């Protein structure tokens, strides 16, 4: 058997998130999956949720190769009753949540005047209401412990307008405002609220069309930004990160 090098041993032992508990919403695919795997590799126990039980089971199996404790639960984070059960079960299995990544979201695109009220509700509920509901549910425990990280995955669409982006941009601009205000509400309790704004990411996400992989981010690029937030020194605070593809589409 080949001997482990010193570098490999150091990588294996590097676990800055040891003892922490992470919850990633929308963790069954794409960006959420990448974030969950990255934080598990850094030593965190990880819970994931989503609406596809089969996909959750698959990602849970991957996580079990990296994390000592894993929990997966099918939930709709636009419903307060589902959120309450999700938080209760996660904390029963893994302990108090110290890192929350609000990643769940959808995209519906096209001119606003061609969209329905149902389209509006579906996008705003998935992308904005879910951030409010899950953050509200975990905040009291974090306040009691005087520490925690809440990381909201927004988009550069939360900073820029484009044709056909009315519903999606409205939801992501809302995430920007909500995150900034939550940060001010919670920072005196030792809780950091950060927002990450990726540009175009090559995932299954139903965006505006196929993406050229050479001109798009990968889910791992977003996961790297999340890892930066949760491994910074305790007195610092990365409030907003923009992640752009190097080459313009």
Check 168, 169, 182, 219 and give the catalytic one: 168
Q: Other C-beta atoms within 10 Å of 180: how many? A: 14
168 noted as active-site residue? yes
**Integer CA distances (angstroms), 195 to 64, 91, 104, 170, 246, in order:** 28, 24, 14, 16, 20
Among 152, 170, 161, which Cα is nearest to 102's?
A: 152
**Distance (Å, rounded) from C-alpha 140 to C-alpha 135?**
9
**DSSP state, residue 208:** S
The CA-atom distances, in angstroms, between 132 and each of 83, 95, 105 are: 11, 21, 13
Active site residues: 168
């Amino acid at each position: 058997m080949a001997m482990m090098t010193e570098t490999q041993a150091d990588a294996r032992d590097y676990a800055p998130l040891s003892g922490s508990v992470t919850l990633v919403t929308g963790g069954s695919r794409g960006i959420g999956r990448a974030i969950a795997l990255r934080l598990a590799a850094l030593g965190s126990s990880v819970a994931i949720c989503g609406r596809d039980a089969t996909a959750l089971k698959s990602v849970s199996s991957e996580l079990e190769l990296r994390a000592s404790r894993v929990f997966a639960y099918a939930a709709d984070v636009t419903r307060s009753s589902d959120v309450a059960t999700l938080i209760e079960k996660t904390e029963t299995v893994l302990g108090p949540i110290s890192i929350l990544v609000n990643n769940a979201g959808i995209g519906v695109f096209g001119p606003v005047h061609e969209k329905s009220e149902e389209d509006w509700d579906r996008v705003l509920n998935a992308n904005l209401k879910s951030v409010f509901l899950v953050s509200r549910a975990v905040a009291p425990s974090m306040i009691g412990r005087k520490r925690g990280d809440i990381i909201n995955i927004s988009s550069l669409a939360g900073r820029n307008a484009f044709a056909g982006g009315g519903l999606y941009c409205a939801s992501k601009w809302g995430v920007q405002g909500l995150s900034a205000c939550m940060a001010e509400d919670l920072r005196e309790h030792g809780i950091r609220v950060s927002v990450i704004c990726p540009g175009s990411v090559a995932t299954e996400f139903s965006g505006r069309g196929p993406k050229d992989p050479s001109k798009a981010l990968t889910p791992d690029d977003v996961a790297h930004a999340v890892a930066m937030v949760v491994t910074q020194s305790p007195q610092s605070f990365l409030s907003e990160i923009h992640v752009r593809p190097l080459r313009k589409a």
